[in-house]
A and B are shown apart, each in its own frame.
Chain A
Amino acid sequence: MAILADKNTRLLVQGITGREGMFHTEQMIEYGTNVVGGVTPGKGGEWAVGKPVFDTVKAARESTGANASIIYVPARFAADAIFESIDAGIELIVCITEGVPVLDMMKVRVQLDQSRSRLIGPNCPGLLTPDQAKVGIMPGHIAIPGGVGVVSRSGTLTYEVVYALTQKGIGQSTCVGIGGDPINGTNFIDVLQLFEDDPQTEKIVLIGEIGGTDEEKAAEYIADNMTKPVVAFIAGQTAPPGKRMGHAGAIVEGGSGTAADKIAALNAVGVMVAEHPEQIPDML
């Protein structure tokens, strides 16, 4: 089972002819992901990484039957790429691109809410369903299939946790990086719900960080809706207020968004919070 991406995913790559797009397309194909084609405006009819390139997402979808798209285009074109995929009716859109302006994302949100598309990201490492599909940039070989669902706002911190699980022989159903921006397509609650409904997932690891209130909302959701156990980790306990910690969304503002608040909210609903990532495998 797993969630969001699996053997049936038919993936398009928006920005397939770019340096990043080409490199990661090779990696995704090598992992076994079913990449059916790519889109680069002006390069339709060419081939890249052994796959057909189209000028538009619409044309690509009509020819390939793609049901998912991954975006590697530069930040200034990212919102347009997302709009294009929504308009073409792509079910799952994953945006890796970092640095998309917030006002662009607010408009994307409105369109998404009126569509049947789901967006993961932006500014995220994407998804990995071990041994089935890699839709993004997570290193495939650090994961093994199993029953733990992983959802995270971070990139390398997610790899760290997945790697620690794998070292202890604990496999994963799907690893989802939802991204480090203040406004994103899919939040913790959306993914928790998918994991709750997924028969393969038995337990869940939630990796949060300072900024916003998504972890607090996740805690409420867990209390009201989750039967599966959740273990959490929150990064940024030593981050000073008012300073953006790399991610556009990781900032303690006006006294809210602190790690302490998030840990307290999770503890209050019975979620165990690890002091450091290497404790997580034992806590499961």
Chain B
Amino acid sequence: MNLHEYQSKHRFAEFGVPVPQGKVARTPQEAYEIAQEFGSPVVVKAQVLTGGRGKAGGVKLAQTPGEAQQHAENILGMDIKGHKVLRVLLDPASDIQAEIYLGVTNDRAARKPLIMASAEGGMDIEEVNRTAPDKIIREHVDPFLGLRDYQIRNLAYGINLPRELWKQFIAITRSLYRCYVESDATLAEINPLIIDGNNNLLAVDGKMSIDDNALYRHPDLAEMRDTSAEPQAETQARAAGLSYIQLDGEIGCMVNGAGLAMTTMDMTKLFGGSPANFLDIGGGAKAETVAAALRIILADPNVKAVLFNIFGGITRCDEVANGILAALGEVRTDLPMVVRLVGTNEKEGREIIDNAALPNMVTAATLADAARKAVEATKSA
């Protein structure tokens, strides 16, 4: 789960990282009032869960409250890479002398937290990593020892930070790491951490991602989830306990297991079609789960055919077949459907589907057969 900039910076501040005293506006009028209250130039920043805001014109400097209002008017409602801007953050403008990058993330390959700093702040760190990887100073952290002060000094030294700023830098880095650990973050990033005209460090932009599996430990963070930018179907699926991702193809896929679901998507492509979604219904495939999943798939207007691919392991295919038919009693559709049941009691399962003799439903024996039939169905529809 990703947090907005204003949420991330608020969280950083709780752990002692200095951030601008910004406020969020939902209307141009609110933006005007906030700018007036600050009584200084402000930066108006679009709050969307995607990068590239600056390039899209979603970040503007305003000298007066009137200008802030005007920028807010332009930015609110703007579409940035498919994300609609519903809020702007107004921060008092800072006097930027230098920009530093400072971030903590999970290093999957090293299986440890990784803290990174670079003097090339303010830029896309992945770009720095591609073009000049040696400009990023890296320290792996032992999760039991925690981040040690000497490691922070290694970072400060590595980025040539003036010595008079080390004390501040050490305090901020400790705070950021604590914030990362205590939030179960997978990423906690300050970019840039600026040196201002008074020789103070200030986190003017921030980003956090939280481990979804750890949200049970952080009900306060779980509440921060912004579902306004994701397709409604994904929000509904999460509520139903389904793993669903909307794509832009025509074949709705309902599969048990994530790896098999990806494979089924790939197969539709291999046979000349395109998947409308990723959907893992998990184990069991009970009628109510199938019905909930089917409703979500059918709500997508691009879907021209539905492909069921269920591997009956512990679950029996005849139970799954009955589950699918029961679900179709609740959720009616005329779209062509291809059902492939394999594994335990697959013959019985196929018989149940065949005996139901639904005019728009066919069975398939293999995955290739199922994918081919689904693709044909979309072509003739």
Contact = CB atoms under 8 A, between A and B. Distances in A.
Interface stretch (A10-18, A38-46, A53-61, A233-241): A233-241
Contacts of A255: 126
Given A159-B313, A182-B106, A106 B111 contact: yes
B313 A142 contact: yes
Given A139-B314, A159-B313, A163-B342, A180 B258 contact: yes
A206 interface: no
Contact of A156 (B142, B259, B269): B259
Contacts, number: 164
Contacts of B367: 160, 276-278
B374 to A, nearest CB: 14
B278 A246 contact: yes
Looking at chain B's contact residues, the main secondary structure is mixed
Contacts of B32: none
Contacts of B144: 107, 110
Contact of A153 (B186, B245, B259): B259
B311 interface: yes
B214 A101 contact: yes
Contacts of A106: 106, 111-113, 143
Interface centre among B214, B259, B280, B313 (most CB of A within 10 A): B259
B256 interface: yes
Contact of A110 (B142, B212, B217): B142
A212 interface: yes
Contacts of B368: 276, 278
A156 B283 CA distance: 9
Interface in A209-224: 209-210, 212-213
Interface size on B, as a range, is 35 or more
A67 interface: no
A191 interface: no
Interface in B332-381: 342-344, 366-368
Nearest to A276: B267
A182 B213 contact: no
Contacts of B214: 101-104
Contacts of A233: 263
A275 interface: yes
Contact of B275 (A76, A103, A158, A238): A238
A276 B313 contact: no
A183 interface: yes
A254 B312 CA distance: 36
Interface centre among B186, B258, B314 (most CB of A within 10 A): B258
Interface string A235-261: 111111001111111100011000100
A168 interface: no
A171 interface: no
B111 A155 contact: no
Given A159-B313, A160-B311, A243-B278, 16 more contacts: A109-B111, A109-B112, A152-B259, A163-B342, A209-B262, A213-B109, A235-B263, A238-B265, A245-B245, A246-B261, A246-B278, A250-B258, A275-B270, A276-B263, A276-B368, A277-B263
12 contacts: A23-B314, A75-B213, A156-B256, A235-B262, A237-B266, A237-B269, A238-B265, A246-B280, A247-B258, A248-B212, A250-B259, A259-B266
